[in-house]
Amino acid sequence: MSAPLVVIQNISKVFTTGKEDPLALDDISAQIPKGEIVGLVGPDGAGKTTLIRLIAGLLMPTKGTITVNGLDTIKDATAIHEIIGYMPQKFGLYEDLTVLQNLNLYADLRAVIGKEREETFKKLLSFTNLARFTDRLAGALSGGMKQKLGLACALIRTPTLLLLDEPSVGVDPISRRELWKMVQDLLVEGISVIWSTAYLDEAEKCQTVLLLNEGKLLYHGTAHNATKRVQGRTFMISNITGNKRQVLKNALCQKNVIDGVIQGSDIRIVTKDAGQIPLNLQTLNAGSAEIKATPPRFEDAFIDILGGGPGGVSLLAELMPNLPEEKAQNTVIEAHDLTKRFGTFTAANKITFTVKAGEIFGLLGPNGAGKSTTFKMLCGLFKPTQGDAFVNGFNLQKAPGDARETIGYMAQKFSLYGNLSVWQNLQFFSGAYNLIGTARTTAVEKMLEIFDLNQFINESADTLPLGFKQRLALSCAVMHHPRVLFLDEPTSGVDPITRREFWNHINGLVAKGVTVMVTTHFMDEAEYCDRIGLVYQSKLITIDTPDPLKAMAKTQNNPTPTLEDAFIHLIEQYDVANGK
């Protein structure tokens, strides 16, 4: 057995802030083998980025030692920098430089010159399929192309160890698969990889997994062995004739249920104990449903190791008043031939669909397909080149103020004011939504309580952990009790526990009659949608419920396709039909 590539011994890290200083990492020990992709997983703020930066020799540990290929990260930091490639969590390139200029900059930094540079560029541009885009500004690339460029820059000099800090955040399923395949191919060249990720299906593909939570190492081993802990505890509720969101809420309120998610028309649950069928379906109001055992996944084990999910009750939904019942079947969102051109480029082309009251409508598509453009036209943030958008009966071009009064909007990128405190952001947005007096004070207090923001009340938004940034953004979007909620990738980069919390709130709001339109790159989240519209190359190419979309991708080799399989199948099918 070969010696481990990375040896972590009793590592602790404290960041001194002048307050009570919690441990970012707490006495962690692990060995990382050579020749593998090692998954580093855990909730937001678990310590993943801190550990990666310690391994890279970019931070000094408070206690303990780390060696990389026998080199000490404190004494031999410069030598370690020569043998690693590092792709940070945030896009670490220069957006006002072209693809080629970024590569040249990193080649200069790595002293890759002459014929070696020429051959390296040729290889990397081919490897990442960026050869056609060398003159394009990095800031103009799609999310997937940016990540490929970041990977190329990390590989300018072939590393012994490649450190990837959440490389697939905000990237569509096609680009994620391409990135994964590219990184797997690097193993053939003898490169070892540490891959930090919020996508548990990616972690499941790793040979070794390290699970962090609150600075502690909770699990170190294979994903397969972790999954064994929930054997006999995973079930699927099918053929539900009642309201599936209410059934999920009821299931999550059962003492023996630690986790539950919607999968199309079904509900998947994880129980505390193995054994017999755990639930009385009549108590769940599930109608004539049936419940059967289903194979466990690594995600089930992940939630179990962390002590279970957040339950099914949404305090936010309990605060929300019921919308009038007579509105339930009304069309709330309408897009009629929505088209948006930027110069000669058509970002959205004759998009047409409707959304009913109390429906969750998902708008999916690859990076750059036109989702966010369509989304912004429906929110009144972009004026269509042609076509019409209606919300609650108001034409967004003729009566934008009336329409926006009933809308809550959470932007794809954190849209609040980073230099304002949590309290100041809530005050600002409550004023923007015309909340005054007691109503404004009560709304702010309730948001602080429901989203557990009191602990950060005087901290600037920029300094919040990502999960709490997203909580603050959602609280600002819903504090005025909107009838329609637009969520543009609301959980990008957020861990599965926080994502479940968000969807508890969304499901609860929908039960009160709120209409939700959402974009997401998490295909498991798209399962919560009543209907899904797939946007590709500026066009809406299909609309359907999740289960029929998955059925379209069914083959003899893949009899139970995922929604991600369906996403990729439909786009490939469209390309073939259009001669691409």
Residue 462 near residue 451 (C-beta atoms within 8 A): no
Spatial separation of the C-alpha atoms in residues 379 and 83, rounded to whole Å: 48
- 472-519 confidence digits (pLDDT tens): 999 999 999 999 999 988 887 778 888 899 999 999 999 998 999 999
pLDDT exceeding 70 applies to what percent of the chain? 96
pTM of the model: 0.87
* DSSP conformational letter for 430: H
Does residue 18 register a pLDDT over 60?
no
Residue type for 35, please? G
Q: Please give the full DSSP string across 508-538, using - where no structure is assigned.
A: HHHHTT-EEEEE-S-HHHHTT-SEEEEEETT
- Name the nearest CA neighbour of 223 among 493, 41, 357: 41
Helix (H) or strand (E) holding 565: helix 563-577
What pLDDT is attached to residue 425? 92
pLDDT in the model for residue 63? 95
Written in H, E and C, the secondary structure of 205-262 is HCCEEEEEECCEEEEEECHHHHHHHHCCCEEEEECCCCCHHHHHHHHHCCCCEEEEEE
* pLDDT value, residue 541: 94
Q: What would the pLDDT profile of 413-422 be if each residue is shown by its tens digit?
A: 656 788 899 9
pLDDT of residue 539: 94
Segment 324-352 mean pLDDT: 86
Type and span of the H or E element at 426: helix 422-432
Which region among 192-196, 243-247, 381-385, 490-494 has the lowest average model confidence (pLDDT)?
490-494
Q: Which of these, 543, 473, 563, 488, lies nearest to 520 by C-alpha position?
A: 488
Q: Is the pLDDT of residue 278 over 70?
A: no
**329: pLDDT strictly greater than 70:** no
Q: Are the C-beta atoms of 269 and 259 separated by less than 8 Å? A: yes
- Any idea which of 156-160, 364-368, 396-400 has the lowest mean pLDDT? 396-400
Q: What is the pLDDT of residues 508-555, one digit of tens each?
A: 999 998 999 999 888 888 999 999 999 999 999 999 999 999 999 998
What letter would DSSP give residue 462? G
Compare 109 and 304 and report the one with higher pLDDT: 304
Quick one: residue 407, left, alpha or beta (phi over 0 = left, psi -120 to 50 = alpha)? beta
Other CB atoms within a 10 A radius of the CB of residue 78 amount to 9
Q: How many CA atoms lie within 13 A of 479 on its CB side?
A: 31
The total of other beta-carbon atoms located within 10 Å of residue 292's CB is: 9
Mean pLDDT estimate for the chain? 88
Residues 6+ apart with CB under 8 A from 455: none
Q: How far is CA 350 from the centre of its chain?
A: 28
pLDDT score recorded for residue 326: 46
Read off the pLDDT of residues 428-471 as tens digits, 9 standing for 90 and up: 999 888 888 999 999 999 999 999 999 899 999 888 877 888 88
Decide if 112 contacts 119 (C-beta within 8 A).
no
Strand partners, 219: 211
Predicted confidence (pLDDT) per residue in 202-228, tens digit:
888 898 999 998 899 999 999 999 999
What confidence category does residue 274 fall into, taking pLDDT thresholds of 50, 70 and 90? confident
Beta bridge mates, 86: 163
**What pLDDT does residue 301 have?**
94
Lowest mean pLDDT among 318-332, 361-375, 539-553: 318-332
Please report which confidence band the pLDDT of residue 335 belongs to, taking 50, 70 and 90 as the band edges. Answer: very high
User: Is residue 243 within 8 Å of 285, Cβ to Cβ?
Assistant: yes
Q: SS3 string of 535-557?
A: EECCEEEEEECHHHHHHHCCCCC
Which phi-psi region, left, alpha or beta, contains residue 465 (left: φ > 0; alpha: ψ -120 to 50)?
beta
Percent of the chain with pLDDT over 90: 52
More confident residue, 575 or 414: 575
Helix crossing, 99-109 with 143-154: angle to 10°? Answer: 20
Kind plus residue range of the DSSP H or E element containing 162: strand 161-165
Q: What's the mean pLDDT in 557-568?
A: 90
